[in-house]
Structure 1
């Protein structure tokens, strides 16, 4: 093995993009908590609420955070992303989060069901992360530190279990907001632990990377698009929940009027 292949790359982080990744994770978590409130208020897993929550948490809080975090990882060489693998990692994140929410919403008071859902979701999130890493196209090979890799998977499972518990047990906007900051820390903790587990060494083989946008430009575009979708989802969720609250209040008033007339 030549000297070039023995040399490990020393990547750096764009701290602005790291901060953006945390912000979108927090906002995605908060949006998903509001959408899950729609499931809780109906007492069942309404499909549209479930899909919205899975998109907000899996696609926004987790995958978008992950991809912006990847763009923040500067290895000092051109990097491209395989579009098929990248898209597959997004689908994985949305599906496993949807499965976890569906399992818990069916019987939210069941601890065994919560643990099973947390394990499935956590392993799915870890799969999303490491499949996303495999999407990187560059003139370098990567390997993983086993200890940090296992730690990242454990963090993913614990974080997923905690997130599902919080989603179906919290009430009040302040509690949900506080939980969102904690969920953001957990998601980022899993991602950056997984990144720390990776070692990069330059390779002799040639790769062809098509010209693409700068990481900062791409990161800002993904952040802006994701935030726009999350804001729209949050507006819809809050308007629907507010409307349902008014309908419940009117129903109570009608019942009181009927009782008085009788």
Structure 2
């Protein structure tokens, strides 16, 4: 039997704001990456990766809290920790690729693909971490759409990160990125169908032959 949840809209709005803030912070830090050298550049890459990857992860779990289900849900600690490490890692790789290879379309697309697939994997890994009396079945088409959104948003983020922009353009770009990242999450949630475990059958014997 399928189980439907409902959303707490204040938490949905908060999740979008978190994604937007993460995107703006990463775009702002990217300017410092370009002007830094040596170990300082590595430090700014790590900072930007933590801001972007950690912000996306935070958005995901706030959005999960926004989804109210008629049952208790807990999370596997190991899988949850892996889902935090993954977006930070792929974001760092994306920034490093562009610094190493320059802002060319092949490098940009490669970085966006790595980063986008990693972020989408974070979402589904976070879903896998859920512990509840349910199994999750996915709509393959909507899963593909969510991955495509993540890749497009990541490519746009990398391109904007290394473009010289004004404050207003950076703010607008962060807003668009926040909506895109949130769109990936909520598309992934729309792809999920929560199905209750079938009840176990118990057989009783009275001992008589």
Deviations 1:130-161 (Å, cap 9, x if unpaired)?
A: 00000000011110001101111111111110
Counterparts of 1:171 and 1:107, CA distance in 2: 21
SS in 2 for 1:46: helix
Runs (4+) of structure 1 exceeding 6 A deviation are none
Aligned length: 199
Aligned counterpart for 1:87 among listed residues 63, 81, 92: 81
Aligned counterpart for 1:183 among listed residues 177, 197, 205: 177
Indicate if the aligned counterparts of 2:27 and 2:157 stay in contact, CA closer than 8 A.
no
Counterparts of 2:125 and 2:103, CA distance in 1: 33
Aligned counterpart for 1:57 among listed residues 27, 30, 52: 52
Structure 1 unaligned runs (5+)? 1-6, 207-262
Matches within 5 A, 1:190-201: 190-201=184-195
Counterparts of 1:109 and 1:25, CA distance in 2: 24
Q: Does 1:127 align with 2:121?
A: yes
Q: Say what the alpha-carbon RMSD is for the aligned residues.
A: 1.5
Counterparts of 1:161 and 1:14, CA distance in 2: 30
1:172–1:8 Cα change, 3 Å: same
Q: TM-score when scaled to structure 2?
A: 0.91
1:100–1:160 Cα change, 3 Å: same
Deviations 1:188-234 (Å, cap 9, x if unpaired)?
A: 0000000000000111479xxxxxxxxxxxxxxxxxxxxxxxxxxxx
SS in 2 for 1:78: coil
